[in-house]
Amino acid sequence: MLKRILAITLVLIPLGLAGYQLRAGKAETPLITFVPGSRHLADSPLVLNLHPLPSSSTSKLQQVLDESRKEESLPGAVLYISTPNGTWIGASGKASLEAGTLMKPTDRFRIGSVCKTFVSVVVLQLVQEGKLRLDDLMTKFLPKEITKRLPNSNQITIRELLNHTSGLSNYMNDQFYDEVRKDPTHPWTATEVLQFVYNLAPVGTPGEKFDYSDTNYILLELIIDKVTGSTLTTQIRDRILTPLGLNNTFMELREQIPGGFVNSYRKVDGVQTNVTQLNEANGLGDGGLISSASDLAKFVHALLAEGKLLSRQTLKQMLTSFKNDNYGLGLASRQTKWGELLGHSGGTAGHRAEMYYLPTHNITVVVMGNDDDSDKDTYDIVEKALDVVLSSTHYFQGQSSWWYSAF
């Protein structure tokens, strides 16, 4: 069965991580004009309200999830939404089409480029500790055998890697996917994938423009390894996962995952095909984490609402975008009719994820699905869920004004 599945994937034109990311928009700099987590927590404790939402809302949310999953032809999906009025998490569809296993709210998924926000937090914590600076050149930390083969490497800063203004091409190109087709299960390392970007012409000069490139976060992984004398996997676990109690988050291929994660699917010649074994640079710093909806919600809320991971000043840096783009340091924004969403999206090897926080209403929302076809839109579920919980006229009266705190 596995050989048949892998044979089918050889004819696939894979979809890279970059295809699912938030692109440059028209948001002003900074992304928002306040830092939610900058207030004293003793005065305004912004903890997740884990009490259940009213049944009138939960039935509508389940309907949104079920209908959207069917519209998008997703095998399965999970929706998590937390508000000051309570929290709801639901599942729809199948975790395994072959076995007919129903999706559960606690199931784990590959999260793709949502991983970049975790990596950025580690880098920014190292900045706070004085172990590196955002304006340090990457050549300070990387060996010459790497930097001499990357254009303009002696001009690229840590900040420009974080906000995708380095000008480096994306390693997820035709050459990379040609190699994936030849060996769909090859366990790629960070240094291996860099070969697909060596000596390529830059897409711009450092600091000139935003151009999303997974190469940036591969280099950040290597810089974290060098600065800490450890590994990115260890640093994420020690600095984020363990302190926040994120017990369902793991780095794929680098850590044991008790109970595993849901099957991955992608349409091949019109047939929904199991690609769980497909390795498109799984387990690396640009998109290698496995997680659950609840864990992602805890993470983004701890970062942006509770102020548990970064200081006020550092969070300000993270929320500052380049010129008029909508991307800060590993964190993006989307404009909605309800306010500005902060977070990240991701897609890789048969899975997709959306992780957002809405500061104006103290709402956290996560959506995960186990099909990565480009014509599917899991973000649409995010906005539909917000419509449900924010449509009530009495919702949050008098509860949002205290959120605003000027830089």
Q: Quick check: helix, strand or coil at residue 284?
A: coil
Reported as a single tens digit per residue, the pLDDT across 141-169 is 999 999 999 999 999 999 999 999 999 99
Which whole number is the average pLDDT over 91-116? 98
For 58, residues 6+ apart whose C-beta sits below 8 A from its C-beta are 52, 88, 90
What is the domain partition of the chain in residue ranges? 18-396
Q: CA angle 24-391-94, nearest 5°?
A: 70
Encoded tokens for 311: 């200081």
Reported as a single tens digit per residue, the pLDDT across 256-283 is 999 999 999 998 888 999 999 999 999 9
Name the residue type at position 51. Answer: H
CA terminus-to-terminus distance, the chain = 57
Token pair 């939402």 is found at: 53
- Going by pLDDT thresholds of 50, 70 and 90, the confidence category of residue 292 is very high
* Closest CA relative to residue 255, chosen from 277, 272, 231: 231
Q: What pTM, to 2 d.p., does this model score?
A: 0.90
Encoded tokens for 380: 């649409």
Is pLDDT of 42 > 60?
no
Is pLDDT of 35 > 80?
no
- Going by pLDDT thresholds of 50, 70 and 90, the confidence category of residue 392 is low
Tell me the pLDDT of the chain averaged across its residues: 88
Q: Quick check: helix, strand or coil at residue 93?
A: strand
Q: In angstroms, rounded to a whole number, what is the distance separating the alpha carbons of residues 383 and 390? A: 10
Question: By the 8 A CB rule, do 87 and 79 touch?
Answer: no
Q: In angstroms, rounded to a whole number, what is the distance separating the alpha carbons of residues 9 and 7? A: 5
> Which fold, 18-396?
Beta-lactamase (3.40.710)
Amino acid 6: pLDDT: 41
Question: By the 8 A CB rule, do 54 and 85 touch?
Answer: yes
Reported as a single tens digit per residue, the pLDDT across 188-242 is 999 999 999 998 999 999 999 999 999 999 999 999 999 999 999 999 999 999 9
Reported as a single tens digit per residue, the pLDDT across 311-368 is 999 999 999 998 868 999 999 999 999 999 999 999 999 999 999 999 999 999 999 9
Sheet harboring 250-251: ordered strands across? 108-110, 289-292, 250-251
Range with lowest mean pLDDT among 25-29, 49-53, 212-216: 25-29
Percent of the chain having pLDDT more than 90? 78
Greater confidence (46 vs 161) lies with: 161
Q: In angstroms, rounded to a whole number, what is the distance separating the alpha carbons of residues 397 and 85? A: 11
Reported as a single tens digit per residue, the pLDDT across 122-131 is 999 999 999 9
Neighbour count for residue 258 (Cβ, 10 Å): 8
Which whole number is the average pLDDT over 107-116? 98
Name the residue type at position 138. Answer: M
For 214, residues 6+ apart whose C-beta sits below 8 A from its C-beta are 16, 17, 18, 113, 170, 171, 172, 281, 286, 287
H/E stretch holding 382 reads helix 379-390
